[in-house]
Amino acid sequence: MLDALTLDQIRVFVAVAEEGSFRQAARRLSRVQSAVSHAIANLEAELGVALFDRSGHKPVLTRAGTALLEDAYGILLKADSLRARARGLGEGVELSLSLCIDVLYPLTAISDALYQMREIYPSVAIRLETAALGGPLTSLLDGRSQMAITAGEDFRDPHITLDALGPVTFVAVAAPDHPLAKRGHGTPLGTADLVEHLQIVQADPTAWSEGRDIGVLSPGTWRVGGQDSKHALIRSGLGWGRLPLWAAKEDLAAGRLVRFNAVALGRDGASVMGCYLAHRNDAPLGPAARTLRRILLQRNIEEGGV
């Protein structure tokens, strides 16, 4: 009967599938190998199907095992979420709250939200860091942050819950004396026009973007570790690049940067990237974190973008 299934059996099933070995799964779960084998045998008996082909040197998922593995992941995610929610209901106000914010999201928006949260929970200490590309998601998965703001559609994980925040608008910019800026905003510039010039791009400190170049069009690139460095190099005239409109606004108004019409990047050289408030499914948000979440989402409703 399926009523006899246990979460422990399902966790063992996932561990063996991911490790590709009963021995490695036992080591990961801090158990003896015979206990792992016994748990899988009981699970197979309950389900009435073979989950692994044991005829070779290592266990290999059967067709049924491959199909049921996705269901197993879903069950464990829901169980972890239930446990986290129950734990959160029984906990008081957190002593501290750690946040990791994508460098593309304006810190002024976070500062305003934190100011409002602090009026309600003045005793909660805040640890705030910024990171690029896959950095915020990695910080959540590693347990270094309780909440994060991510940018773009490339950084997702089934263990992370996302709430949409306002989008960030990007513009293609260069220094006034750069050849692309001199072409004028009214001149549409395609990829062929851009590849001749050095592009300043943000490097990903994680492996999330490995093998992919997000928003990179020029074969000649300089990669920098911070958004401030990217901004400064573009402003110095060394190359062109994309900056959030909120970050470039003052330089554009003062004439230190000029927008150009890179149609390969979007209409009028502008593009939009979604931003998301993120937290782990299996880690409950305390009262202060829930309040901060509510403030940020309300700001998104009222202002609709950054």
Angle between the 22-29 and 7-19 helix axes, to the nearest 10 degrees? 120
In tens, the pLDDT along 225-248 reads 888 899 999 999 999 988 999 999
d(CA 238, CA 221): 11
3-state secondary structure of 52: strand
151 and 297 Cβ atoms separated by less than 8 Å: no
Residue in 265, 294, 269 with CA at minimum distance from that of residue 165: 294
Copy the structure tokens of residue 225.
């570790």
Which stretches in the chain have pLDDT values below 70? 1-4, 81, 83-92, 207-215, 301-306
Same fold, 2-89 and 96-167+274-303: no
Domains of the chain, residue spans: 2-89, 96-167+274-303, 168-271
Which CATH code, of 3.20.20.70, 3.60.20.10, 3.40.50.2300, 3.40.190.10, is assigned to 96-167+274-303?
3.40.190.10
Predicted pLDDT at 210:
58
Q: Which CATH class is domain 2-89?
A: mainly alpha
d(CA 50, CA 166): 48
Predicted pLDDT at 1:
46
102 and 136 Cβ atoms separated by less than 8 Å: yes
- CA–chain centroid gap for 304, Å, is 21
User: Alpha helices of the chain — where are they, by DSSP H?
Assistant: 7-19, 22-29, 33-47, 63-89, 107-120, 135-141, 179-182, 191-194, 227-236, 245-254, 287-303
Residue in 293, 292, 300, 250 with CA at minimum distance from that of residue 275: 300
Residue in 271, 273, 270, 140 with CA at minimum distance from that of residue 208: 140
Long-range pairs for 219-227: beta carbons < 8 A, 24 or more residues apart: 219/195, 220/195, 222/198, 224/200, 225/132, 226/103, 226/132, 226/202, 227/103, 227/104, 227/132, 227/202
pTM for the complete prediction? 0.66
Predicted pLDDT at 235:
93
Rg (CA), the chain: 25
Structural fold of domain 168-271: D-Maltodextrin-Binding Protein; domain 2 (3.40.190)
Predicted pLDDT at 149:
92
119 and 292 Cβ atoms separated by less than 8 Å: no
Copy the structure tokens of residue 130.
């910024």
Residue in 266, 275, 165, 150 with CA at minimum distance from that of residue 217: 266
